[in-house]
Structure 1
Amino acid sequence: MNPISKLEDQFSSEFIDGPDKRKQALDEAVQTMKEFVRIDHSVAVLSDLADNKSYIFTGDFGSFFEMDTSGYLTIDSIWEEDIYQRIHPDDLFERNLLELEFFNFLKTVEPDERLHYATKCKIRTLNSKKEYQRILHRSFYLKNSSEGGLWLAVCVYNYLFEKKETVTGIDGKIINTKTGESVYVDTYVNCINLLTSREKEVLVLIGKGVISKEIADQLNISINTVNRHRQNILEKLNVSNSIEAVRTADALNLL
């Protein structure tokens, strides 16, 4: 249910500094996040896109996830799957669409301005009583590489300190934290060019239940080309199968 393969593909194409240059900046970021969760009392995930690692920092909110709040841990992934498993599947799907839109939005912004933007949404998540409770999720990029590529990403989880209200979906937005300007995300305009016209043709036929051989015949291309388009679609939309690809593309208004 995750649209994240496209993000992984795009992350790998970012300009990333060499290991020596990254180490000092990463050490500084780790110290910054330690202090951040101490003050914010949240759970924060610092993801290193260059090394495919994440550092999970646990403030008092860690009790919500039944996590040890004594320090931080390192995982060999930029995705915090243990937390994702607690999020309502529909909200996780929408949250990942928001992150995909955010990444593509930032590519339209000058590198110096990218770190001023963040996402904010409200997601239903299982608490320690195994009951869904709406919490606050934020994300932003802490550092660019020296070449201007997006490098250190941060996700923050915390209690939703707002009065109860009727919320449709996750109420996702992109916010300029410098000016306070909010962009409500509902059209995913920055994702409009994720798929080529041919990939869209292939995906429409997949959605109709057409098998690869018949797609090849209808589009007058080889079955190997069809399979290559299938793989590209899964990677770009960050999904694991064709059903999820059709659902994600439809949600992004790509078809």
Structure 2
Amino acid sequence: MEIREQLSDKLLDNTSQKCILNIEIYKERALAYAQIESAVCVLSDMQENKSYIYKSAAAEELGLSKSENPTEIDSIWEEEMLKKIHPDDRLKKYIHELRFFRLLDAMKMTERTAYSVVSKIRMKDKNDQYRWVKHRMFYIYSPNNGRLRLALCLYNIALTSSHAPDFMIINAVKGKVVVKDKLDYKSILSPRELEVLKFVGEGYSSKEIAGLLSISINTVSRHRQNILEKLKVKNSTQAFKDSFY
């Protein structure tokens, strides 16, 4: 996926100057989060391209394997978790993580610790049914080279779907929402228009979208024009960015 490739390129630290953070301290914190909050906690190491997944009893509710704790994988992408996320929400997750990275990357090091991501996503549970899950993400930067070193993600089963935005960047120090979804596009666009917009965001051409949705190119063009008119933007790519960014 194009968005995920962009995100990997930004997140992975391939610089020669290595981070001096003691990851063992953060592993202990990740385990504590999982135990205290009944969460699934993923600690991803951008320098080593590894992840450590800590599971509580909530993992069983989500139908996740509960073998070693933590489970160590050779990737910053926890595929077992990601494949359970609804495809639409998985794409949004990647987009918003890239958005979050860009926001913090433009800040001073001293300001970054105040910020985190809070979002709600749909994940399949042990009965193969989608459930609402609260997802939070924190970035930890290297003090010696300023590069992103660790990402800490928490997944908690939510009680119900709330009316809060699907995605927010918050400042915990000031207790403020810094960024949230600009458009309630689900109430503006039809289900078919949302499908077309999603494929536009993934980089598919009108011809490819027509094949994927089994409709004519003319129909795709009409949907794209409707999207532009409804969202009042100049092109479909901008519509996608404005809806998610």
* TM-score (ref. length: structure 2): 0.70
Greater Cα shift, 126-135 or 174-183: 174-183
1:102 maps to what in 2? Answer: 100
Which of 228, 241, 244 aligns to 1:252? It is 241
| Contact 2:30-2:152 within 8 A present in 1 as well | no
Answering whether residue 59 of structure 2 is matched by residue 29 of structure 1, we say no
Which residue does the alignment assign to 1:218? Answer: none
Partner of 1:147: 145
2:10 aligns with 10
Aligned residues of 2:62 and 2:123 also touching (Cα < 8 A)? no
**How many Å separate the matches in 1 of 2:237 and 2:151?**
23
Deviations 1:162-194 (A, max 9, x none): x54457xx6100011222111233359xxxxxx
Q: Which residue of 75, 83, 86 corresponds with 1:85?
A: 83
For residues 185 and 80 of structure 1, the distance between their equivalents in structure 2, rounded to whole angstroms, comes to 25
Gaps of 5+ in 1: 189-202, 211-245
8 Å contact kept, 2:31–2:54: yes
Cα distance in 2 for residues equivalent to 1:108 and 1:127: 37
- Structure 1 CA distance for aligned equivalents of residues 67 and 29 of structure 2: 17
Residues matched between the structures, number? 198
Residues 1:63 and 1:137: Cα distance change in structure 2 (over 3 Å): same
What does 1:172-187 align with in structure 2 at a 5 Å threshold? 172-186=167-181
Alpha-carbon deviations, 1:191-241, whole Å to 9, x = none?
xxxxxxxxxxxx9x984669xxxxxxxxxxxxxxxxxxxxxxxxxxxxxxx
- Consecutive unaligned residues of structure 2, counting only runs of 5 or more, are 184-200, 209-234
What code does the residue aligned with 1:92 have? Answer: R
| One-letter code aligned to 1:8 | S
Cα distance change of structure 1 residues 247 and 92 upon mapping to structure 2, 3 Å threshold: farther
1:137 aligns with 2:135: yes
Give the TM-score of the pair, scaled to structure 1: 0.68
> What's the offset of the Cα at 1:18?
2.6
Matched with 1:113 is 111
Q: Note the 1:20-99 alignment, pairs <5 A.
A: 21-22=20-21, 25-66=22-63, 67-68=65-66, 71-99=69-97
Deviation at 1:13, TM superposition (A): 5.6
Could you say which structure has the greater relative contact order, defined with CA pairs below 8 angstroms and 6 or more residues apart? Answer: 1
- Distance change >3 Å, CA 12–CA 63, structure 1 → 2: closer
Q: Is the 8 A contact 1:42 1:157 kept in 2?
A: yes
The secondary structure found in structure 1 opposite 2:60 is helix
